[in-house]
Amino acid sequence: MARLSVIPLYTDGLSEAPKARLASLRERSAGLDAEGLLTFALKEAFPGRIAVVSSFAAESVVLLHLVAAIDPETPVLFLNTGKLFGETLRYRDRLQDVLGLTDVRAIGPHPLDRERRDVEGALWSRDPDACCHFRKTVPLARALSGFDALITGRKRFQTATRAAMEKVEPVDGRIRFNPLIDWSLDDLARYIDAKGLPKHPLVNDGYPSIGCMPCTRRVAAGEDYRSGRWASLEKDECGMHIGVDGEGI
């Protein structure tokens, strides 16, 4: 997928000190593969001050396996939106056990936000952007308040927006690492098979990309692998990882 010409977005508005810090991190991590970047982020750049954001969905096991091999005590932030498939919740529990992750934190929308914004639980059907905002973006921002950096499993091939992202980038005053940025679907599948890792149970049921249950459908033969997310809507991101101020994720 061709990269979009919006890279200056990632440094616009930064003061000179953060720009220099970002430049240093990018220089020190240049040329590192996924494992090398994770080791650098977890052990050198931000030890004890960094968290992984994971949806425990179709591709999540790759990033989580790499992280667990480096430091299984790394905090893993899991967004339990209240609208997930039961299979995803059970998959989370299985991966936590199989990979030996010791600090998986389930986070979700505040009860007061539920009462104010979605008391009947059907906001997704009227305003999916607003639903994603209060069920994902707001809880994640709250959970990240104690960290200086985060790690995501986003890849450039996934959406047009993600095609422009960088391996190391600033977001909301923090540094975000995207170690799987250049991995393809074939790369992910080969890694999962080579390591004998558990697959999300919905993958073989026609769900190659998995989000919340009301907004995810099976993908038909020949369709793009993310076409089952927010089908028939002009939407391909939940909003958590957009641009500078803002997703598996």
Residue 39 CA, chain-centre distance (Å), reads 18
Kindly report which listed range (38-42, 173-177, 179-183, 218-222) carries the lowest average pLDDT score: 218-222
Task: Sort 207 into a burial class: Cβ within 10 Å, 0-12 / 13-18 / 19+.
Answer: buried
* Per-residue confidence (pLDDT) for residue 97, from 0 to 100: 98
Q: What pTM, to 2 d.p., does this model score?
A: 0.83
Domains of the chain: 17-23+31-215 (3.40.50.620)
**pLDDT tens digit sequence for 34-54:** 999 999 999 999 999 999 999
Could you report the per-residue pLDDT of 135-170, keeping only the tens digit for each?
A: 999 999 999 998 999 999 999 887 777 787 899 999
Tell me what pLDDT residue 170 has.
93
Task: Point out the residues that are catalytic.
Answer: 238
